[in-house]
Amino acid sequence: MMARRSLMVGFGGYLPDRIVTNDELAARLDTSDDWIRARTGITQRHIAGPNDTAVSMATAAASRALEYAGVSAADVDAVIVATSTPDQAFPATAVRVQAELGLRGGFGFDIAAACSGFVYALSTADALVRSGQVEKILVIGSEVYSRIIDWSDRGTCVLFGDGAGAVLLSATDGAGPEGILSTHLHSDGTTGDLLYVDGAVGRRENSGFLRMRGRDVFRHAVAKLSDSVDEVLAAHGLTYTDVSWLVPHQANLRIIEGVARKLELPPERVVVTVDRHANTSAASIPLAMNEAVRDGRIRKGDLVLMEALGGGLTWGSALARL
């Protein structure tokens, strides 16, 4: 009999209505559409409106994931939200989402692992399923980076966007090959100053903004993500050719292409949203999953490799058979 494990059964996403193009940024900053496209592949990003919050976007994405799975909110045992941009320090975003969804049982908590947040949350949720604590669990990434961006810093503000994505996991003991095969997490606090927010709760004026040494982050990203995809495939005796889809964190097209080249995956096997969403941090992988499952690219039986790197530095990978 197969061991207890998690199936990915529901997918949902939410993007704010407002789209900001590169040209709009170039009108108020010393940058250009050409520069942004060439260095990052980004053409536009969605930016939260006054009524969009980490909670509202997470709730919208989660509702769509439940609808996709045909599961009612009352059957959900737990909610994990990966976010670095919560509306409040506490209560956790996840318990607010619990209330919004009408859940009166179970539990919820947030995970802060910056752009690796979704992989961390997926790993935690999978462990809760495997240990028998939950049957159904929502794993959400919801981010409002527009509220921690220094809009006068052209080196960072062009890179990020807002949004939320959600995946519903459901426990199985079935004999089929599907489910989350494994997740692998890493962090290295000595690299914390490469990408960080310069303030916290009760922050003083002119603090609380994202700061980054872009070139150093880029270098770490390509090296660590390459190791990370090797690690997860080796854990299952699989090779590059077994992977149906790479669903990477969407930070920069050049980083994504670097990892895809290493995997010898043609571009049509890589799910890319960074061109339209920019970097939505913990929301980027579930948003990309949602898009590719709903448009029929990712199908039942496909082997999906997810990977991410973010502030911490944190990084990791996950392998799932849909």
Peptide bond into 313 cis (omega under 30): yes
Distance between the two ends of the chain, CA-based, in angstroms?
19
Helix axes 33-40, 253-262, angle to 10 degrees: 20
Burial 120-140 (b: 16+ CB within 10 A, else e): bbbbbbbebbbeeebbbbbbb
Give the angle 305-164-232 at the CA atoms, nearest 5°: 15
Q: List the interface residues with ligand COA, window 156-185 (CB under 6 A).
A: 158-159
- How much helix, strand and coil, in percent to the nearest 5, is found in the chain? 40, 25, 35
Is residue 217 near ligand COA by the rule CB under 6 A?
A: yes
Residue number of the CB atom closest to ligand COA: 214
- Determine which helix (DSSP H) or strand (DSSP E) holds 61, and give its type and residue range: helix 54-69
Is 157 in the active site? no
Which residue among 6, 22, 40, 85 contacts ligand COA (CB under 6 A)?
40
Q: How many residues bind ligand COA (CB under 6 A)?
A: 20
Q: List the interface residues with ligand COA, window 8-37 (CB under 6 A).
A: 31, 35-36
The stretch near ligand COA (CB under 6 A) out of 91-99, 184-192, 214-222, 298-306 is 214-222
Q: Residue 197: what are its φ and ψ, rounded to 5°? A: -110, 130
Rg of the chain's alpha carbons, rounded to an integer?
Answer: 18
The stretch near ligand COA (CB under 6 A) out of 64-72, 128-136, 151-159, 295-303 is 151-159
Tell me which of 249, 252, 277, 290 is the catalytic residue.
Answer: 249
Beta bridge partners, 139, equal: 80, 167
Q: In terms of CB distance, is 7 or 318 closer to ligand COA? A: 318
Q: List the interface residues with ligand COA, window 249-278 (CB under 6 A).
A: 251-252
In angstroms, what is the minimal distance from the CB of 109 to ligand COA?
22
Site string for ligand COA, 282-311 (x = CB under 6 A): ---------------------------xx-
DSSP state of 125: H
User: CA 5 to CA 149: how far, in whole Å?
Assistant: 38
Site string for ligand COA, 58-97 (x = CB under 6 A): ----------------------------------------
Residue 192, SS3 per DSSP: helix
Which residue among 37, 39, 186, 211 contacts ligand COA (CB under 6 A)?
39
Tell me which of 46, 115, 184, 290 is the catalytic residue.
Answer: 115
User: CA 130 to CA 172: how far, in whole Å?
Assistant: 9
List contacts with ligand COA (CB under 6 A): 31, 35-36, 39-40, 115, 154-155, 158-159, 212, 214-215, 217-218, 251-252, 279, 309-310
Give catalytic residue positions.
115, 249, 279
